[in-house]
Amino acid sequence: MTTIKRRLFLILAALMTALVAAALLLGVSSSSTAAALIGGGALLLAGLAAAWALSSSFATPLGQLEDAARRIASGDHSPRLHLDRHDETAAIAEALNAIAAYGEMGERLSAAEEEQAAEILSVMSDGVLVLDSTGRIVRANDAAARLLRAPLQASVGRRFVDVARDFPAATLLRQTVTGKREITKTVEMSGGCTFSVRTVPLHLILVTNAAHPSGDRQVLFLIRDITERLRVERVRRDFVANVSHELKTPLSGMALLASTLERAVVEDPDQARHFTQRLSQEVARLSGLVDDLLTLATYEEDRSEATHETETVDLAALVREVVEGIEPQASGRHLHLSARTAVPVMGRPMRLATLARNLIENAVRFTEPGGNVWVDVEARDDTAVLTVRDDGIGIPRSEQSRIFERFYRVDKARSRATGGTGLGLSIVKHVADQSGGTVKVESLVGVGSTFTVTLPLHPSSAG
């Protein structure tokens, strides 16, 4: 027997007993005691049976209401009550049903918002990390795990320091919680990456008791990889400094030659002719530098359009024309060309010609008179391969990773003396990249260098 049913029965039984007792007292004065007792007993039994039935009719719906209320209070919003009654218990049942329905709707909305938030976090390029005041992981997105190289999502609840030791999360967490304000810092990682980290204090109210709510402090970390941005900024600064220096040198020489030439025209006409030739060389050098700068700028600006204006080019025939143009200027170097079979590629003829010319001129420039330069064009599987090899002075291994940078020269004096601008190999790399290819170098000091350019073969010729 349920508690509610027992209480109702006891209340009704007490009432019936009182009524029977009153009837007995009244009956004693008008009839015999035995008859009164028998009648009273029968009346009491009938009353108790009626009390039992009445208590059952109330106790059952009240028990259902109690059970449903407890389940809803514990967070289970699935109960629904259907009482076939027309009293207060039916109204209470409808109210509980409405509360459960609202709670269920709230759960669905909360789950949908959680799913949407998780989806947004998963596609963010910036890392998002949330730690509690003790340094335990509350939440992290894919980007944070990738940037910090740690399984953050699988480590929720664990201390961050036990999962990723390289990132100074504990220090930033302490500073943010203590200062109660946002902090933005640049963090250099041991692997060479640089992050911009912004921390934001979060204050969450945890209502464990409506009268005495408690709070917990969490900190949001927003992590952005700025390694590439810093590299580009450094390259731009170096580029401006190098351009200024490269332009200043020929301009200073031209100013000095012009001043000397002015006097020599009057005092020594033969010497004036020499100064005129020197001035022409400086002008040509400056013109070449400006041309290369404009070429490089053009290639960088329309990089996105590079694939829209390509055409079929026979790389072998194009390289033959370039070699024929350079041969008269080889100054005693022997050029050997192997490019007999057509090698069709997709690209821009002028840019591919610039690529080949820069590589071959570079090989001639750094090969002593009497040396050799070999140029080979062939198709290998689905790739066109241009190889330029020389037996010149070679490139130190420590310098090889930087030779494709703008204005970088291994032998600065020799490069300037032979007319180099320091931009040729940078242009080669740009053209190769834009054509969907690659360029690499192999070199030994005193033995020579080999530059290899690979380009996608034209689809009609690809095997």
How would you class 395 by CB atoms within 10 Å of its CB: exposed for 0-12, middle for 13-18, buried for 19 or more? buried
Question: How far, in whole angstroms, is CA 254 from its chain's centroid?
Answer: 50
The pLDDT, as a whole number, for residue 1 is: 45
Output the 3-class SS for 19-68.
HHHHHHHHHHCCCCHHHHHHHHHHHHHHHHHHHHHHHHHHHHHHHHHHHH
Alpha-carbon distances, residue 413 vs 257, 410, 426 (angstroms) = 20, 9, 19
Most distant CA pair in the chain, distance = 169
Side-chain half-sphere exposure of 246, counting CA atoms within 13 A:
26
- DSSP one-letter code for 12: H
Q: Which residue pairs, CB below 8 angstroms and at least 24 apart, start in 98-104?
A: 99/72, 100/68, 100/72, 101/77, 103/72, 103/75, 103/77, 104/77, 104/78
Q: Say which residues have a Cβ less than 8 Å from residue 115's Cβ, sequence separation at least 6.
A: none
Question: How far, in whole angstroms, is CA 346 from its chain's centroid?
Answer: 33
The pLDDT, as a whole number, for residue 206 is: 45
Strand-pair category, 383-390 with 448-456 = antiparallel
Cα-based torsion angle of the residue sequence 78, 208, 203, 119 in order, rounded to the nearest 10 degrees: -20
Residues paired with residue 199 on neighbouring β-strands, in sequence order: 183, 221
Strand-pair category, 448-456 with 127-132 = unpaired
Residues 423 and 55: their CA atoms lie apart, in Å, by 100
Residues 164 and 58: their CA atoms lie apart, in Å, by 62
Place of tokens 């917990």: 216
Q: φ and ψ at 437, to 5 degrees?
A: -115, -165
Per-residue pLDDT of the chain (463 residues; tens, 9 = 90+): 455 555 555 555 555 565 555 555 555 444 555 555 555 555 555 555 555 555 555 556 666 767 777 777 777 777 776 666 666 666 777 777 777 777 777 777 766 666 666 677 667 888 999 999 889 999 898 899 999 989 988 888 899 999 988 899 999 999 998 888 899 999 998 878 999 999 999 875 444 444 444 456 889 999 999 998 888 888 777 777 777 766 766 677 677 767 777 667 666 777 777 767 777 766 776 777 777 777 777 776 665 444 457 788 899 999 999 888 888 877 778 888 887 778 888 888 888 988 998 899 888 888 888 899 999 999 988 899 999 999 988 888 888 888 888 777 666 555 555 556 678 888 889 889 888 899 999 999 989 999 999 999 887 765 5
The pLDDT, as a whole number, for residue 207 is: 41
How would you class 289 by CB atoms within 10 Å of its CB: exposed for 0-12, middle for 13-18, buried for 19 or more? buried
With beta carbons less than 8 A apart as the criterion, state whether 220 and 128 touch. Answer: yes
Residues 176 and 173: their CA atoms lie apart, in Å, by 5
Write out the H or E segment, with its range, that includes residue 437.
none
Could you give the 3-state DSSP secondary structure of residue 334? strand
The pLDDT, as a whole number, for residue 325 is: 87
Strand-pair category, 334-338 with 372-380 = parallel
Domain boundaries, the chain: 3-104, 124-225, 302-463
The pLDDT, as a whole number, for residue 306 is: 45
Residues 434 and 421: their CA atoms lie apart, in Å, by 22
With beta carbons less than 8 A apart as the criterion, state whether 355 and 368 touch. Answer: no
The pLDDT, as a whole number, for residue 331 is: 75
DSSP 3-state percent helix, strand, coil across the chain (nearest 5) = 55, 20, 25
150 dihedral zone (left: phi>0; alpha: psi -120 to 50; beta): beta
Classify domain 124-225 by CATH number.
3.30.450.20
Question: How far, in whole angstroms, is CA 44 from its chain's centroid?
Answer: 83
The pLDDT, as a whole number, for residue 34 is: 52
Strand-pair category, 448-456 with 183-188 = unpaired
Could you give the 3-state DSSP secondary structure of residue 95? helix
Residues 424 and 289: their CA atoms lie apart, in Å, by 10
40's tokens: 């009273």
How far the first Cα of the chain sits from its last, in Å, is 87
Fold for domain 302-463?
Answer: Heat Shock Protein 90 (3.30.565)
CA angle 152, 157, 158 (to 5 degrees): 70
Strand-pair category, 311-314 with 127-132 = unpaired
The pLDDT, as a whole number, for residue 209 is: 41
